[in-house]
């Protein structure tokens, strides 16, 4: 059976994935952007409320035209039950 | 003054050593004086691919540390008399190559040879940065495959930042050598094609080496493919690449790129 005929061409997928990834990696210039953002967010928010560093999560979902940056900060109840999630386009 | 070339890739197993041997041998065959240097301290292999593994007495580390003279460590090829190998050390630790020592040896080789070709280890660690440090020209070996292309992009960034030329504000010449290329698969959309890779990496193309059984056969025999089978597809592609490296203009053939109508009808794979 010749499945090959019906299969999707894989090279265009490889090409697009690489283009998205490399555009991001070149901008990052070898630095770990997410770790940097996470550290700075912890510093900024930590000035005002008590934070547990491992309760701060920074994620990114890279798309072709727009990327979603998701920042999830969990703050203990003693500081007034604040749970903020920020999602914005990059 | 000779030209220093680094053959690099980031990713392992894409054909740096094979390409170093093939290009070095081809340049030497054309009468140029060539030395190929193995920078992969601890995991040397260029000696094996060149068929000189039983003739290694002194190595690069011995020379860098002053324990041996350059003339004692250089191994002259038995087939092409203007081709020399400076083997890596097999046992010593990776810190054994000092920056000053490497600079001194490269300076000395530049005086004696037309081409100094540095076979870089995989990765982005010290060995790889030392290998590219003094290069005038870089050959980035890339397979038409996502992980290899990504790593090549990373290496191109490093070449523009970490080489002596880049630090002096000069431009390091960079060329892409696309290896293990299967034109049939690329034309069917099963493999990144030449245009894809060139567009993604935006680097000039030195050559396209076709995927071929002949490459393994040559390394089994310990003979650069440009010497062992100069008429083969990969050897001819390496020969063209060597001429481009010398500054000649050579039309770029996509090896096995055009399948004849008969081949298509009978579904024969390009050899």
User: 3-state DSSP call for residue A48?
Assistant: coil
Q: Give the ipTM of the model, two decimals please.
A: 0.82
- DSSP class of B258: S
Q: Which of B149, B188, B191 sits opposite A18 (nearest CB)?
A: B149
**What DSSP string runs through A14-61?**
HHHHHHHHHHHHHHHTTS-HHHHHHHHHHHHHHTTS---GGGEEEEEE
What residues contact B237, with CB distance under 8 A and at least 6 apart? B207, B208, B209, B210, B253, B255
Model confidence pLDDT, tens digit, residues B91-103? 667 678 899 999 9
Q: For CA atoms B231, B234, B240, B241, give the dihedral sign.
A: negative
Spell out where B39-131 has E strands.
Answer: 75-76, 83-86, 115-119
Count the neighbouring beta carbons within 10 Å of the beta carbon of residue B200. 22
**Residue B218 three-state SS:** helix
pTM: predicted TM-score of the whole model, two decimal places: 0.84
Decide if A25 and B193 are in contact by the 8 Å CB cutoff.
Answer: no
Write the pLDDT tens digit of every residue in B52-62.
999 999 999 99
Whether chain B has a CB inside 8 Å of the CB on A22: the answer is: yes
How would you write the pLDDT of chain B (271 residues) with one tens digit per residue? 999 999 999 999 999 999 999 999 999 999 999 999 999 999 999 999 999 999 999 999 999 999 999 999 999 999 999 999 999 998 667 678 899 999 999 999 999 999 999 999 999 999 999 999 999 999 999 999 999 999 999 999 999 999 999 999 999 999 999 999 999 999 999 999 999 999 999 999 999 999 999 999 999 999 999 999 999 999 999 999 999 999 999 999 887 644 444 445 554 444 4
Residue B146 at interface with chain A, using a CB cutoff of 8 Å:
yes
Rounded Cα gap, residues B30 and B8, in angstroms: 23
Q: Which residues 6+ apart lie within 8 Å of A46 measured at CB? A: none
List the beta bridge partners of residue B37. Answer: B86, B118
Q: In chain A, what residues touch B159 (CB-CB under 8 Å)?
A: none
CA dihedral sign, ordered B165, B166, B172, B175: positive
* Cβ neighbours around B18 below 10 Å, total: 26
B66's CB contacts (< 8 A; 6+ apart) are B101
Q: B188 CB near a chain A CB, below 8 Å? A: yes
Q: Which helix (H) or strand (E) holds B6?
A: strand B3-8
Q: Which residues are bridge partners to B140 per DSSP?
A: B8, B176
């Amino acid at each position: 059976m010749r499945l090959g005929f019906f299969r999707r061409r894989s090279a265009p997928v490889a090409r697009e994935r690489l283009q998205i990834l490399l555009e991001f990696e070149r901008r990052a210039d070898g630095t770990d952007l997410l770790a940097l953002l996470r550290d700075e967010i912890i510093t900024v928010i930590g000035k005002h409320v008590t934070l547990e560093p491992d309760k701060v999560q920074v994620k990114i979902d890279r798309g072709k035209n727009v990327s979603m940056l998701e920042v999830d900060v969990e703050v203990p109840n003693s500081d007034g039950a604040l749970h903020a999630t920020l999602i914005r386009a990059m | 003054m000779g030209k220093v070339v680094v053959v690099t890739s980031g990713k392992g197993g894409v054909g740096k050593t094979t390409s170093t041997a093939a290009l070095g041998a081809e340049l030497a065959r054309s009468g140029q004086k060539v030395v190929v240097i193995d920078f992969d301290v601890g995991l040397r292999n260029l000696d094996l691919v060149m068929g000189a593994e039983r003739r290694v007495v002194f190595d690069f580390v011995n020379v860098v540390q002053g324990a041996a003279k350059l003339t004692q460590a250089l191994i002259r090829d038995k087939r092409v008399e203007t081709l020399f190998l400076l083997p890596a050390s097999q046992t010593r630790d990776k810190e054994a190559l000092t920056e000053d020592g490497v600079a001194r040896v490269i300076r000395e080789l530049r005086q004696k040879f037309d081409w100094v070709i540095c076979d870089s280890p995989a990765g982005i660690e010290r060995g790889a940065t030392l290998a590219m440090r003094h290069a005038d020209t870089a050959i980035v070996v890339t397979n038409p495959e996502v992980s290899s292309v990504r790593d090549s992009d990373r290496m191109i960034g490093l070449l523009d930042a970490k080489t002596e030329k880049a630090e002096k504000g000069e431009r390091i010449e960079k060329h892409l050598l696309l290896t293990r290329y299967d034109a049939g698969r690329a034309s069917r959309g099963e493999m990144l094609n030449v245009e894809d890779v060139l567009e993604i990496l935006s680097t000039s193309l030195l050559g396209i080496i076709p995927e071929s059984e002949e490459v393994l056969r040559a390394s089994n025999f310990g003979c650069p493919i440009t010497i062992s089978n100069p008429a083969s597809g990969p050897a001819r592609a390496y020969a063209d690449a060597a001429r481009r490296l010398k500054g000649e203009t050579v039309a770029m053939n996509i090896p096995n790129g055009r399948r004849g109508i008969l081949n298509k009808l009978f579904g024969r794979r390009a050899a």
